[in-house]
């Protein structure tokens, strides 16, 4: 019993590292970047990144090159259509009916120990079948 109590007290002060990755896919009409949101999940002795939702961000194009650490706003309340301030990331789900579930999950993550990686892998053109 004492062991569980000590683990509970430790969890209040020490939070595990949360690894998020945004893979940007395209730019919307307002200039914000639309992408896929992935989170690292540990399994046994390894782990993998799993897609947990979609993201809309107004971070700089070269996020990792701009500076070592830059503060950002993680917005889990607003809809994707609301006006976006600079350095903001909005979270949603692939299916709009799951938006609330994904936003609740992300809002519960500890912000003080969060690592964010942004990858620019834009879709430059749509492949269309060749006409013969």
Contacts (Cβ under 8 Å, ≥6 apart) of 10: none
Q: What is the pTM of this model?
A: 0.77
Highest mean pLDDT among 5-14, 43-52, 115-124: 43-52
Domain boundaries, the chain: 15-119
For 27, other C-beta atoms within 10 Å of its C-beta total 12
Percentage with pLDDT > 70 across the chain: 83
* pLDDT attached to residue 102: 92
Contacts (Cβ under 8 Å, ≥6 apart) of 14: none
User: Could you tell me the two tokens for 20?
Assistant: 């998020």
* pLDDT attached to residue 124: 57
Q: Is 41 exposed, middle or buried (0-12, 13-18, 19+ CB in 10 A)?
A: exposed
Q: Which residue has the higher pLDDT, 80 or 63?
A: 80
């Amino acid at each position: 019993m004492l062991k569980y109590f000590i683990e509970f007290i430790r969890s209040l002060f020490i939070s595990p590292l949360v690894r998020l990755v945004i893979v940007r896919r395209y730019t919307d009409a307002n200039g914000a970047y639309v992408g896929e949101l992935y989170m690292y999940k540990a399994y046994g002795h390894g782990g993998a990144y799993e897609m947990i939702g979609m993201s809309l961000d107004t971070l700089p194009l070269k996020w990792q090159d701009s500076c070592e650490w830059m503060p950002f706003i993680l917005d889990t309340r607003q809809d994707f259509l609301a006006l976006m301030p600079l350095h903001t990331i909005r979270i949603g789900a692939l299916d709009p009916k799951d938006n609330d579930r994904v936003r609740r999950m992300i809002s519960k993550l500890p912000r003080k120990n969060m690592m964010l990686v942004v990858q620019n892998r834009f879709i430059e053109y749509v492949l269309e079948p060749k006409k013969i």
